[in-house]
Amino acid sequence: MKRSVPGCTMLYNNPDIFIDWKVHLINVSILLTILICSIVSCSKDKDKGHDRPPKVSLTVTKGIGIDGVPATGLYEFDTGMVVNYGYRTLEGYVNLVTTLDGKRVPDEGSFNIRKNSILNSEAELKVLWRYNTPYPVYYSVPAIGNDNTIYFTSGYYADNPGTLYALNPDGTLKWSFTHSTAFFSPVIGNDGNIYVQDFYSKLYSFSSSGMLRWSYDQFSHNHFENVGQRCPAIGSDGTIYLAGRGLHAIDPVNGNCKWIANDLLSAKASPSIGPDGTIYAVFSQDLVVAMHPDGSEKWSNSFTYPWEMSFTSPAIDNKGVIYFGVEARYQGTDYSAIYAFHCADGSIKWKYPVEGERFVRASPVIDSNGNIIIATKANGMDKPAGIAAISHSGQKIWSHEIENVHQTDDDIYSTPSIDNNGLIYFSAETGFLYVLNPNGTLNYKYELPVSVNWSSPAIASDGTLYIGGMYGSNWNGSLVAVKITGTGYASTPWPRFRHDNHNSGRY
């Protein structure tokens, strides 16, 4: 018997209604669950928004002459993000320094940024300018006038034109003169006029404004040399001493010949003048001659062997000694040496054999300690070119070899220059400008945009170094102005090729 409960009979007696109630209860439960999950989810999203890392800024400064990212600007990152960066110098710039918040860091890398930071990159302008020429600046050592005009020449052997250029200190052209054959290095006279010798030893005189004043070609025989550096020397009275076929003394005003000595003998290099006015030159390979300013002979002597020859311009010290570099090939063997002659009587003080049978074609110079600094060619890949310091008594003090960068020997023809900090500058066929400390260790090297042969560094008082070379498959030329720390030459008897920025060749 069923018990009847008022108000509840239908629930117990109608199963469908009971089932619907349960379904309704389940649906309500699902809705409540969804609502609760939504509330929780919103709460989590709200909490997540509160946990997001704060923003930090990165200030970037990228200096002139630098390529890379990020560029100069203000950037915003989430705290902890990885920031990638990388920089390199453009041509003409060196010494790239990258800092993060004032501390040196690698020039390429990454870091996690956690605070407002500063990324900075700076580089030093090394090449101030280049003046390009259609033919190589091969033999030319620049000369610098008293008004800071830079004179240099171009040309390669006798089969292409040579040009004498006059440039302003900013690298712009003042004037030029083109000739049928190559020129050697220009020389500035006491009168400010420019004198330059061609491949046949013919001498040309130009005013500082570029006007051809006169030319000189009074040789008994034609004389042609395609190796070496030949420029006239300038006496204290302005007389021009020209070594070609014989030694010629020339009046600077009108180009007239004052006297000629040894006119049957040919010279391969430039003469030099001592403090007493004596002119020194090498003829017929091995004959060393000292001449008085009036053309009379003071003395003559020879190198040890008649097959020894000198392509170098002699250097003179303050102890009465003159230095020559020689080279020779005898019975299939190459060798080279440095000679020291007494200026007073021409006797040989000593002879230093260069190591590794390396030829010496760059001219000797003298440092502040009286040491003779020489540059050598290479002699095979295992005997690279280099620089050596020889004491005034003929003993080697130090040497420094350069690395070959090509598949053939990289030679040094470039005569070193010593600045007023004692640093030694030279270049090579490697295309680098090398800077050595006074003890022969490398201070730094810088890759020039040209390969350098017979050109040598000229240093101006404003801290600019000028040197010439060639580049490209067509052997185009270029004079390069390089910023250095030196502002002149060391106080030595003979600190550079031809002694001074006029290329005078006079002590």
In the chain (507 residues long), the average pLDDT of successive 10-residue segments reads 36 40 42 42 47 91 95 96 95 92 96 96 94 95 98 86 96 96 95 94 96 93 73 98 95 98 90 98 93 98 94 96 94 90 98 93 96 94 94 97 90 97 97 97 94 96 97 94 97 98 98
Instruction: Based on the fold, state whether residues 61 and 17 are members of the same structural domain.
Output: no
Residue 493 maps to a domain: no
Domain housing 95 = 55-123
Instruction: Based on the fold, state whether residues 378 and 426 are members of the same structural domain.
Output: yes
Rounded to an integer, what distance in angstroms lies between the CA atom of residue 49 and that of residue 476?
66
Residue 504 maps to a domain: no
pTM of the model: 0.85
Residue 376 maps to a domain: yes
Domain edge (last residue) among 93, 123, 153:
123
Q: Which amino acid is at 192?
A: G
Query: What's the confidence (pLDDT) of residue 16?
Result: 43
Written as six digits, the tokens of 420 are: 């007023």
**DSSP E strands, 36-92:** 55-62, 66-69, 73-78, 82-89
Query: What's the confidence (pLDDT) of residue 361?
Result: 93
Number of CB atoms found within 10 A of residue 289's CB = 23
Instruction: Based on the fold, state whether residues 32 and 93 are members of the same structural domain.
Output: no
Instruction: Based on the fold, state whether residues 159 and 67 are members of the same structural domain.
Output: no
Residue 496 maps to a domain: no
Residue 334 maps to a domain: yes
Calculated CA dihedral for residues 308, 310, 315, 318, nearest 10 degrees: 20
Rounded to an integer, what distance in angstroms lies between the CA atom of residue 398 and that of residue 219?
43
Query: What's the confidence (pLDDT) of residue 223?
Result: 66
Domain count, the chain: 3
The alpha carbon dihedral of 135, 141, 145, 149 has a sign of: positive
- The radius of gyration computed from the CA coordinates of the chain, to the nearest angstrom, equals 38
Residue 46 maps to a domain: no
| Burial label, 346 (beta-carbon count in 10 A; 0-12, 13-18, 19+) | middle
Instruction: Based on the fold, state whether residues 100 and 216 are members of the same structural domain.
Output: no
Instruction: Based on the fold, state whether residues 269 and 287 are members of the same structural domain.
Output: yes
Instruction: Based on the fold, state whether residues 310 and 189 are members of the same structural domain.
Output: yes
Instruction: Based on the fold, state whether residues 160 and 307 are members of the same structural domain.
Output: yes
Number of CB atoms found within 10 A of residue 409's CB = 16
Instruction: Based on the fold, state whether residues 146 and 116 are members of the same structural domain.
Output: no
Instruction: Based on the fold, state whether residues 114 and 251 are members of the same structural domain.
Output: no
Residue 490 maps to a domain: no
Q: Report angle CA 195, 501, 323 to the nearest 5 degrees.
A: 95
For residue 455, give Cα distances in angstroms to 270, 464, 496.
15, 16, 12
H or E stretch at 20: helix 15-51
Beta-strand pair 55-62/117-125: parallel
Closest CA to 188 of 271, 281, 252: 252
Instruction: Based on the fold, state whether residues 159 and 212 are members of the same structural domain.
Output: yes
Instruction: Based on the fold, state whether residues 184 and 301 are members of the same structural domain.
Output: yes
